[in-house]
Amino acid sequence: MRGLISLLSGGLFGLGLLVSGMTDTTRVQGWLDIFGAWDPTLAFVLGGAILPMAVAWRVAARRAAPLVGGAFPPPPSGGITPRLAIGSLIFGAGWGLAGLCPGPAFASLSFGGWEGLAFAAAMLAGMLLAVPAKRIGRVAA
């Protein structure tokens, strides 16, 4: 059941990315071009995501456990670490240069051609490189 809910949620997320145009790299780069040809479309997409998430967080806060079992993850620590800041800068630079972040990158695999595949491969390689660094950080801490 959990797998089915995950599949449906991921499919709905991907459909939302397609319908909102967030898989269009020029639209995302237009959002980031605040001193040029700024495109406010992403602001409406982000704003539209806030309301359902606010409701979901309120509902989840009243529940003892998730609907499909397991446990809720602990809340984030809230601290800004050098690792978080550097990761955010790398993410933002990649997002600005390519116009894609992980969700739209995977959604664009079906139509992005070799460029989309190359981006997704590089993104996955970066994620795999970050995993050992995360484990090393846990051991050192």
69-104 residue pLDDT tens? 788 888 777 788 888 888 888 888 888 888 877 878
State the pLDDT at residue 110: 75
Long-range contacts of 95-100 (CB under 8 A, 24+ apart): 95/28, 95/32, 96/29, 96/32, 98/25, 99/24, 99/25, 99/26, 99/27, 99/28, 99/29, 100/23, 100/25, 100/28
pLDDT over 70 at 134, yes or no: no
Q: Domain range holding 84?
A: 2-70+79-140
Segment 24-74, tens digit of pLDDT = 888 888 888 888 888 888 888 888 888 888 998 899 889 888 888 788 888
Domains identified in the chain, total number: 1
pLDDT of residue 132: 67
Contact partners, residue 37, CB within 8 Å, separation at least 6: 30
At residue 133, the pLDDT reads 58
DSSP string computed for 56-72 = HHHHHHH-SS-TTSS-P
The model carries a pTM of: 0.63
pLDDT at 8: 92
